[in-house]
A and B are shown apart, each in its own frame.
Chain A
Amino acid sequence: MSLSPVEGVALAEIEAGGDEGGAAAKGVVGRSPGQLAWLRLRRDRTAVVSGVLLVFFLLLGLAAPLIEMVYGIGPREQFQNLLDGFGMPLGYAGGVTGEHWFGLEPGLGRDIFIRLIYGLRTSLFIAFAAALITAAIGVVLGALAGYLGGWLDAVINWITDLTLAMPFLIIALALTPTITLRFYGERGQVSSAFGVGVLIAVFAIFGWASTARLVRGQVIALREREFVEAARASGAGLGHMLFRQLLPNIWAPILVSFSLAVPQFITSEAALSFIGVGLSDETPSFGRMIYRSLDFLQTDPAYVFFPGITIFALVFAFNLFGDALRDALDPKSSR
């Protein structure tokens, strides 16, 4: 007999009964569960710090063209005159100056800071787009499978299992160049929008399954709840059931899985670009930068340092925020 069930009894006794007094004191407009979660989130210091950091990164990414204007240097501009004969940037710490805040790339002599800003923009765009598409597909398929059950559930489940069983990296390695080849031929110049699109598509194809499975489980748990039956007994149709009754109750896990999927896609994008099947060098991205910088690990460590630390901070902040969000939305799990 552990302490937990017993404490549960005691707490149930304390919490049970008259919310009357408390509710009466609060005034007429009640607080929705969402508002309560928001309050809890605001009280959580980790959430606030990681949240602020995320907003900062998002703003940087969004404002990239603006920053370019103020900074006065574009991501593709080359400053060969600031490199020495071996192609290494002149000056200390990889050529950090008042002009080039994070220094210059060895070889091509492009400005690291502005490439970082654009890389952030690319990574965030890919990650958010992939996460959104993933969530949309996953929620629709999962909710339909869970609510309707029967053969539809069986089919969707089967596809889900199949998708989860496919080795992501191998197929991504095989698929991406094949698609590119199919559209651009052997020597065609691949546009950066196309590369981004292919990446998002690959992520979406592989990412939706786990969301679908999560949503399906949640819907099945809710389906037998009496408030759902009450709506059915009133003659509610499929749309009302899914979007009015069920979805508002599973926003929490969807939001959490979304916030944890974004950093996963950021690292995946970096990984794919790193092994060369992701974006071309033309598009600024974390993966390409780190890939290029590794050659200079000994000679120009600053080149590795800046993109590395940024991607680390970004992913870390996302994960911390996702965890804090989970705690805020479901306070019982953290007890």
Chain B
Amino acid sequence: MTDEPLLRVRGLSKHFPVRLGLRTTGLVRAVDGLDFDVRPGETLGLVGESGCGKTTTGRMLVRLLEPTSGSIEFDGRDITHAGRRELRPLRQELQIIFQDPYASLNPRHTVGRIVAMPLQVNGIKPPGGIKARVQELLELVGLNPEHYNRYPHEFSGGQRQRIGIARALALRPKLIVADEPVSALDVSIQAQVVNLLRDLQRELGLAFVFIAHDLAVVRHFCQRVAVMYLGRIVEIGDRADIYERPQHPYTRALLSAIPDVTQLGPAGRIRLSGDVPTPLDPPSGCRFRTRCWKAQDICATEEPALIPRDGGRQATACHFPEGEPVSTSPEGEAASTSPGGDAASTSPEPAAAGPGVATAGTGRGVAANIEEVSS
């Protein structure tokens, strides 16, 4: 693994002006200062809830949106504001897969034409002809190459998503931005597509930026995970760190909110109150503080930096990350400083540590503690 990142993002921001007539009345800070790297062949998961800016980020990475500030370096070249002609050679190495398999294929084009589009647009004539290449691609994604002449409406959602993947692969890219590629599919189909992407990633050595709201899917696909909240990365780290040792309260809340088949009944959850605040007027200081059960005065005044803990690869933007003692205790915090609470905070997901045989009993006990903390 080389240390030279394939994709290098620094201070990336996108602000959408809100216009009332001709006057600009406000700024939606959809993405606000992202830093991250993706190395060749690496899969980075970008997770967060709706409105956290993950889709905007993905659109900026493939330059469908113009960044407001910051820089995007791809393969050592700055592409932040590159024009269409300068981007051309890069387009071939940087592709995108979309969420909606119904909107992402031109209904008037045959499958062959859809998959061949990137080749034709870039004037590439593969050896053996375009048709042979397209059929090879269709086979690669598990479709019948004979279906070359069919139209999108004749395929199911999962098959359409495969067509979208074949199109993204047509130019042999190095990095693919996958924007919620499975969330519009039936459950039994999601696994098919996740497995396909994993196989392709391994076989072709592709790097991925995998945008998703489903942490469980991301866990099965990504080596590294960045958690976003209101336009910022609140925590980034290796998969094992994020899922087993989450340090940011928001990461913990997200993880515990996922209903898991392995746990029956009303398992204890960290209950976040309220909704995500509007990016039009994000909270001062730490953006998560309005929903955080640990929030203190400093959280409102000072924005926590995304800094690595223990010199490791896991970075957390929090004044009071898990595993560090909390200096003062407002009401409700007392519970977490008790021994039980500590156990809860260091390992909120007991089953993740063991081979999945965690009984509901312990799970609930721990979770109950968390609930006390949060309420």
Direct contact of A and B (CB under 8 A): yes
A245 to B104, CA, bound (A): 12
Q: Is B95 an interface residue (CB 8 A)?
A: yes
Q: Could you tell me which A residues sit within 8 Å of B by CB distance?
A: 17-20, 22-23, 26, 28-34, 225-227, 229-237, 240, 244-245, 248-249, 251
Q: Mark B76-118, 1 if CB is under 8 A from A, else 0.
A: 0000000010011001101110111001111111100010011
Q: Mark B291-330, 1 if CB is under 8 A from A, else 0.
A: 0000000000000000000000000000000000000000
> CB-nearest residue of chain A relative to B120?
A240
Return chain B residues, CB-CB under 8 Å to A232. 64
Q: Are B105 and A17 in contact (CB under 8 A)?
A: no
Q: Could you tell me which B residues sit within 8 Å of A by CB distance?
A: 59, 62-64, 84, 87-88, 91-92, 94-96, 98-100, 103-110, 114, 117-118, 121-122, 146-147, 149-151, 153-156, 159, 164, 167, 171, 186
A26 to B147, CA, bound (A): 11
* Pick from A19, A33, A237: contact of B156, CB under 8 Å: A19
Q: Are B87 and A249 in contact (CB under 8 A)?
A: no
Q: A17-B186, A19-B156 are in contact. Are A33 and B151 (CB under 8 A)?
A: yes
Q: Are A32 and B104 in contact (CB under 8 A)?
A: no
7 contacts between A and B (CB under 8 A): A229-B98, A230-B164, A234-B118, A235-B88, A236-B121, A237-B121, A249-B106
A30 to B109, CA, bound (A): 11
A233 to B168, CA, bound (A): 10
A108 to B157, CA, bound (A): 71
A39 to chain B, nearest CB (A): 14
* Pick from A233, A236, A249: contact of B107, CB under 8 Å: A249
Return chain A residues, CB-CB under 8 Å to B59. 229
> CB-nearest residue of chain A relative to B155?
A19
> CB-nearest residue of chain A relative to B167?
A230
Q: A29-B149, A231-B117 are in contact. Are A23 and B110 (CB under 8 A)?
A: no
Return chain B residues, CB-CB under 8 Å to A226. 98-100, 103-104
Return chain B residues, CB-CB under 8 Å to A17. 156, 186
Q: A30-B110, A33-B151, A227-B103 are in contact. Are A234 and B95 (CB under 8 A)?
A: yes
Q: Are A23 and B154 in contact (CB under 8 A)?
A: yes
Q: Are B91 and A234 in contact (CB under 8 A)?
A: yes
Q: Are A233 and B151 in contact (CB under 8 A)?
A: no
* Pick from B91, B106, B122, B186: contact of A248, CB under 8 Å: B106
Return chain B residues, CB-CB under 8 Å to A229. 59, 64, 96, 98, 104
Q: Are A236 and B117 in contact (CB under 8 A)?
A: yes
Q: Are A234 and B104 in contact (CB under 8 A)?
A: no
* Pick from B84, B106, B147, B153: contact of A227, CB under 8 Å: B106
A29 to B84, CA, bound (A): 36
Return chain A residues, CB-CB under 8 Å to B122. 234-235
* Pick from B84, B98, B151, B167: contact of A235, CB under 8 Å: B84
A31 to B106, CA, bound (A): 14
A33 to chain B, nearest CB (A): 6
Q: A227-B106, A229-B98, A249-B108 are in contact. Are A30 and B154 (CB under 8 A)?
A: yes
Q: Are B106 and A234 in contact (CB under 8 A)?
A: no
Return chain B residues, CB-CB under 8 Å to A19. 153-156
Q: Are B106 and A245 in contact (CB under 8 A)?
A: yes
A25 to chain B, nearest CB (A): 11
A34 to B109, CA, bound (A): 11
Q: Are B150 and A23 in contact (CB under 8 A)?
A: yes
> CB-nearest residue of chain A relative to B59?
A229
A26 to B153, CA, bound (A): 13
A233 to B79, CA, bound (A): 13
A85 to chain B, nearest CB (A): 67
> CB-nearest residue of chain A relative to B63?
A233
